[in-house]
Structure 1
Amino acid sequence: MTGSTEASLRVEVLGPQHGKNSFESGAEPLDRYLRLQAGQDARKNIAAPFVLVMPDGAIAGYYTLSSTAVSVGEWPAQTVRKLPRYPLIPATLLGRLAVDRRQHGRGYGRYLLADALLRSLRSEIASFAVVVDAKDENARRFYERESFLPFPDQPMRLFRPMADIAELFE
C-alpha cells in the first residue's frame, strides 16, 4: 500500500450510506452476506460490520466482529495451562473478512486485519483471543502468516491471544 493511498483510506462502521451492491470479493457467500445480511446483523447486535472505504466512497473490503466463547477443551494444551478452569473462555470472533477483487494484492486484507485486531484489543469487553474460522486453505495460510495458531482438532479454526495482539500495538 502506498502512503498517500493509505492516508486516504478509512474504516467505518457499516451504514446505509455505503454502496454494498458493487462489492465483489470473488467469494459469493461473502458478497451475499455484505449485501443482504450484514446490516440486519448490525441492527440486531449479532455482528459489528466494518468497511474499508476508498477515497471515492467505494467499499474496498469489510470484516465483522462479535463476541463468542470457546470451550476450554478446544484450546491447545499449552494454552489451557495458562487459563482458569472455566468451562467457556471468552473470545472475539472475526466472523468474516473480504477484499473487493479489484483491490486484491494491495495489502488491504492485512490492513483490515490490523484494524480488527486493534478494535478487539481496545474493546472494554473481556476477550482472551481473537478467533477466526478460515473459509479455505488460502485463508488459513493468510491467518497463519499473521501469527494465528490452529486449534488442535480444528485446523481451519485459528486464534491469536489478546496478549500477543497487545504486543503488536505497544
Structure 2
Amino acid sequence: MTMQFEIAALASGHDRKSFSCGVAPLDRYLKEQAGQDIKRRAALCYVACPHGEDRIAGYYTLSAGDVALKDMPEDIARKLPRYPVVPVARVGRLAIDKEFQGNRLGAALLWDAADRALRSEMGVFALAVDAKDEQAADFYRHFGFIAFASKPLQLFLPLVTIAKTGA
C-alpha cells in the first residue's frame, strides 16, 4: 500500500525536531531558520506529512528570484523581453527525511512547487533551482530542467513547459 502525504505550508504544529535528511545544513534550516524566513516573507516553506500526522517527511522552500538573461540558452533568451534579468520562482531547498527517501516524495514535492509557481499571481518565467551537487542536478534534469551553460548546478524549467506537462 502506498503511503499518502498531505502537503501544506509549514505551521507551528509540525514536528520539525525529528526531521533528518542526512544533510546537516538542510536539517538545520528546517529546525532553526524556516520559521524566521516565513515571518520575514523571505521564503515560504511547504512540508509533506504522512496523512493524519505532524511529523515532516519532506519539505521545500519557494521564493521569488531572478536569473540573468545572458545566462539563458540562446534559443530561449531570443524569445524573452530584453530585460537584464528574468523573473523566476526559486526552489531554494528540497529535502526528504531519511525514513521516506526512495518513495518519489521528492518528485511529488517538486511538482507541488511547480504547480504553486504556475498558479501564482506573479509574473514568473520559470521554476529555478540551485542543485547542491551533480546527483541533485541529475534529479532535476530527469524532470526536464535545463542547466545554464555557465552554471551547470543552476537549472530551470519554463512554466510553459510545466503547463504543457500538467504539473
TM-score scaled by length of structure 1: 0.95
Between the aligned partners of 2:86 and 2:112, the Cα distance in structure 1 is 23
* Corresponding residue for residue 93 of structure 1: 90
1:161 aligns with 2:153: no
In 2: Cα distance, 1:158 partner to 1:100 partner: 23
Deviations 1:80-136 (CA, angstroms, capped at 9, x unpaired):
111010111111101000000110111100111111110110000000001100001
Give the 5 Å matches for 1:111-126.
111-126=108-123
Number of the residue aligned with 1:11: 7
Report whether the alignment pairs 1:149 with 2:146. Answer: yes
RMSD: 1.1
Structure 2 match to 1:84: 81
Structure 2 distance, partners of 1:110, 1:45, is: 25
Q: Counterparts of 1:78 and 1:152 in 2: how far apart (Å)?
A: 12
Partner of residue 33, structure 1: 29
Task: Give the drift of 1:57.
Answer: 2.0
Residue identity in the other structure for 2:78: R
Q: Distance in 2 between matches of 1:46 and 1:103?
A: 27
What is the percent sequence identity of the aligned residues? 44
Query: Residues 146 and 155 of structure 2 are in contact (CA less than 8 Å); yes or no, is this contact kept in structure 1?
Result: yes
> Structure 1: how far apart are the matches of 2:107 and 2:67?
25
What is the CA distance between 1:162 and its match in structure 2? 0.5
C-alpha deviations, 1:39-94, integer Å up to 9, x for none? 00000000000000113321000000000011111111111111010111111101
* Separation (CA, whole Å) in 2 of partners of 1:148 and 1:10: 25
Q: Indicate the residue corresponding to 1:54 in structure 2.
A: 50
Q: What's the counterpart of residue 109 of structure 1? A: 106
User: How many Å separate the matches in 2 of 1:138 and 1:24?
Assistant: 19
Three-state SS of the structure 2 residue aligned to 1:59 is coil
Structure 1: tracts of 5 or more residues without a match: none
Aligned amino acid, residue 12 of structure 2: P
Question: For residues 46 and 113 of structure 2, what CA distance do their matches in structure 1 show?
Answer: 9
Q: Note the 1:130-145 alignment, pairs <5 A.
A: 130-145=127-142
The answer (yes or no) to whether the contact 2:43–2:63 under 8 Å persists in 1 is yes
Q: Given that residues 13 and 54 in structure 2 are in contact (C-alpha distance below 8 angstroms), is that contact kept between their aligned partners in structure 1?
A: no
- How many correspondences in the alignment? 166
The alignment status of 1:70 with 2:67, answered yes or no, reads yes
Structure 2, unaligned runs of 5 or more: none
Cα distance in 2 between the residues matched to 1:12 and 1:165: 21
